[in-house]
Amino acid sequence: MPDTFDSAAPPSQTWIRSSRGVFVLLLGVTLAISWGARHRSWRELNANPETRFAQGVPASGSDSYYWFRIAREIREQGGNLGARDPLRAWPEGLERGPTPAYSWLIALTSRAFDGDVYRAGIALNAILSSLFIIPLCLYARGIGYPLAGLLGGYFGGLGHAYVQRSSVSRVDTDGGTLFFMTLLALGIGSLRATATLRRNVILAGLTGLSLAGFCRWYGQPWFWFAYLGTLALYLTFGGFARRQAAVLGLVFAICANPLSLLPGLAGLAHFLRFYVLPAEETVPNPFDYAHITRDISELHPVALWQTLAGVVDLPSVSALGLIGFAAFAVLRWRAALPLLPVALLGLFALRGPQRFGMFLAPLVGIGFGFALHALARTWRESSAPGRRLAEPVAYLGALALAATLLGHTGFASDPKPRVPVRTIAGLQQLASRLPPDPAVLASWGSGYLIADVTGAATFNDGEAPDPLVHYLFARAIASSDPRELVRIVSLLSTYGRSDLHAALDGRREPLAALDALLDREARTAGNVVLLLTERDVLPFPAFFRTGHWDFSLGEGPEDGYVTGDCERSGKQALRCTGSLGGEFGVDLANGRMSGGRWLRRVVETRDGVVVRATEHAQQAPLSLELVPRGRAGSYTAYFVSEPVFKSNFNQLYVL
């Protein structure tokens, strides 16, 4: 298949035509390896259900439970879900958008699993996550670099970051995102300036429909602009006549659903502001969505070597592959244009956000494939002996590379679900004890899980958590005044988001506005349950900072839990390890740690009840809280400052 729009002919046209069978065989092998990794995890999950299920509900990702719940509602209500979702943004409810395509597909697939949307979602995710290999390989073969597609699919499907986000332990739309993006690359790359207008119009229309499906699948209409821009660049530099390019662009835009224009503009602005532009340039106040994004762990920057290790756990190998991709992008830039959105997201991961690491892995494989093609071409065009063996040797080199690095990919990894089984089991116990028409106030990261498992409404959840509700929740649990917690719960139960934002947004004196808001008359919220879980311990410093935000300084103090593991080494002695440094001892009789450090108090709990509390040095900065775990004499230790000790969260949850 000649690369008609590139200035240079493809490096191996004759070889490509004669090796179609080999290509199809290796495409099947690549798919089998990627699917094999997911199938192994599926077998292990079914062999040991007690480690991954709580009464039929699987441990999965935080967002998974939204897809599960909507899929179940589609099955039960026949797709007539109503204009507002009553389990979100209580007490108002949240206006529904289009029915999520993923949930609809899970509901459809559940027919093969006796109506079980959970197992259907897991199986569907395992299948979808490898499908991107097919359009990627076809695109690469179409431009003359089949090994780039095969290795791109191999590294992309088995990259640690992608396996983590598309495993059986994390049911989410990421499993299909790469498929749509590579399908769009194939569609755009298949347009030819020398082809008939009819052929190109049909391809442009089908590619536009693919984009419409992608926007519906991923819920990010700003991709409409990303791919419209990609197509415009491709047509501009691909030798297309202006009239033909205009027709193809119009057909593409119409079939891609032009109603995505305004939502796409808003989505693009949102993405650039909160995910791309440096957060350090401004200090957002807690009523700004940027305040939430700065605390999302997957958006935190990590070291470059860690990002590269998200492909294979040999960062230098990933770096070599990216160098090869850079050569491909420069030397064959016209052919590489359809991959522009994937490349931009993947290279953005080099700045640090872990969220985009999954887009980096295919680029590494494409780079290695391009390098092998370049070496084979150089050998074949030289006068060196055996030059007719250049292409078969390139294939063998690709196989050797894949076999050598298999153990360094995510093939044998077993990603852990973000939501532990014990949390699900606890919520199932809670469900039977909830009041009528219950509403649960909890951190937004648990919102989807709570609604799915308990059937209760929530105040805040994922996708687009409301920053004002998040601030009030953080203030309630970080405060040391239980009366303030009660006021905030009553306030949230009485006024919807629109009323709260009308009272606070844009106020020059936010503290005065907050005080006035908290003084408003509010009803008693007898059906509201405050839910605190172990998932709130690690991010508590962010809750503390938000809840104690100083609006005049534009910042808040960070304080939280310093954790450790302790074992009894005597009746009144502990041996501990943890964040305070190395191994150290604790004398419980006098509240003294190794190195002469004193403790303000030591508190021991059992089954949610304080069984012993001993006061020691009143001026000491830290208190020790001991929570039994596992065998007798073994504890999880929390070292906390006095403000954290007195916080509503600590008093209600840990103690």
Distances (CA, A) of 247 to 3, 61, 204, 208, 261: 22, 43, 9, 13, 18
pLDDT at 277: 67
Q: Is 241 within 8 Å of 248 (Cβ atoms)?
A: no
Q: Is 169 within 8 Å of 161 (Cβ atoms)?
A: no
pLDDT at 518: 85
Dihedral-angle region of residue 386 (phi above 0 means left; psi in -120 to 50 means alpha; beta otherwise): left
Query: Of 25-29, 522-526, 615-619, where does the model show the most confidence?
Result: 25-29
The pLDDT confidence band at residue 282, using thresholds 50, 70 and 90, is low
User: Is the pLDDT reported for residue 26 higher than 90?
Assistant: yes
Q: In what order do the strands lie in the sheet with 457-458?
A: 457-458, 439-441, 528-530
The pLDDT confidence band at residue 97, using thresholds 50, 70 and 90, is confident
| CA-closest candidate to residue 345, choices 599, 82, 135, 162 | 162
Encode pLDDT of 241-275 as tens digits.
Answer: 999 999 999 999 999 998 888 787 877 787 777 77
User: Is the pLDDT reported for residue 137 higher than 50?
Assistant: yes
Encode pLDDT of 54-95 as tens digits.
Answer: 999 999 999 999 999 999 999 998 877 888 999 999 999 999
CA distance linking residue 499 with residue 485, whole number of Å: 19
Under DSSP, is residue 532 helix (H, G, I), strand (E, B) or coil? coil
User: Is the pLDDT reported for residue 15 higher than 50?
Assistant: no
Q: Which helix (H) or strand (E) covers residue 552, if one does? A: none
Amino acid at position 452, single letter: D
Give the global pTM. 0.90
Encode pLDDT of 189-227 as tens digits.
Answer: 999 999 999 999 999 999 999 999 999 998 888 899 899
Q: What tokens appear for 392 in the block?
A: 């078969």
Q: Is 120 within 8 Å of 109 (Cβ atoms)?
A: yes
Q: Classify each residue of 380-398 as buried b or exposed e, where b means 16 or more C-beta atoms within 10 Å of its C-beta.
A: beeeeeeeeebbebbbebb
Amino acid at position 373, single letter: H
Other CB atoms within 10 A of residue 198 CB: 8
pLDDT at 213: 94
Q: What tokens appear for 625 in the block?
A: 């809280």
Q: Classify each residue of 292-318 as buried b or exposed e, where b means 16 or more C-beta atoms within 10 Å of its C-beta.
A: bbbbbeebeebeeeebbbbbbbebebb
